[in-house]
Amino acid sequence: MGFGDLFGFGKKEEAPFRVPREISELRTRIETEGRERYPSVDRYKEITRIASSVYDYLDGMIAKKEHAEEATRVREDIRKKLEGLGEKIQRNADEAKKEGKQDYVERNIDYLERKSMRNHAKTVFTEFLEEAERVKIFCAGGRLENGQTIESVIAKLFKTLSELSHNFIQKYGNDTDIQALKDKTLEKLSELDALFREHRMRFREKGLEANVEASLAKYRKK
């Protein structure tokens, strides 16, 4: 059973967007745990594991422009709820630190910090995917939305790529989540490189050929 089947979307090209039961249950779990005076770190880890799969699925919808607005709103709602739960656990850890409970602090603060880093990296990666899709639209002769220009799209594309590379992939390359993100980034870069080679003249007409070529060449070496 595919991930789409797991979340029960049916015929995505025709059916209106409905929040799947599994995502509603995830929200409920986050809210229930947040009402606890001392939320369980183990349960928090389990919830974030489920949320990570949900993020991946919603990111795919956003990148493919399938109910992208609704998927973005759902993703942001989950992120905020989970962030609030993490902050509550962090406050508990800070209180434990004041009380000298060092084992609790060392075990939980490190986890929360790494989780925050991973979530930030995935947010930047989603922005990178969105700009990559806009490049594909440009190459296909389509029209960019919301008054965007290919110049602004290219600038944002390589800005997010640089942030991914310097702030996450190079700094946290041993983290399994970041390694997976690196693989996905390189795969998307390969697609973009092929697009650029095929539609080089379109970029040349916009005066972007040299900029795109130099930027892609820098990442081809890695």
Residues with Cβ < 8 Å from 187, sequence gap 6 or more?
Answer: none
- Identify the pLDDT of residue 7: 44
- pTM of the entire predicted model: 0.57
The DSSP 8-state label assigned to residue 17 in this structure reads P
- Identify the pLDDT of residue 222: 53
Domain ranges of the chain: 1-100
- Identify the pLDDT of residue 2: 46
Q: For every one of its 222 residues, what pLDDT tens digit does the chain have, with 9 covering 90 and above?
A: 444 444 444 444 546 777 788 888 898 999 998 888 878 788 888 898 898 888 888 888 888 777 888 888 898 899 889 988 888 888 877 776 676 655 655 556 667 778 778 888 988 999 999 999 999 999 998 888 877 899 999 999 999 999 999 999 998 888 888 999 999 999 999 999 999 999 999 999 999 999 999 999 887 755
- Identify the pLDDT of residue 100: 62
Could you tell me the end-to-end alpha-carbon distance of the chain, in angstroms, rounded to an integer? Answer: 35
Q: What gap in Å lies between CA 81 and CA 39, rounded to an integer?
A: 13
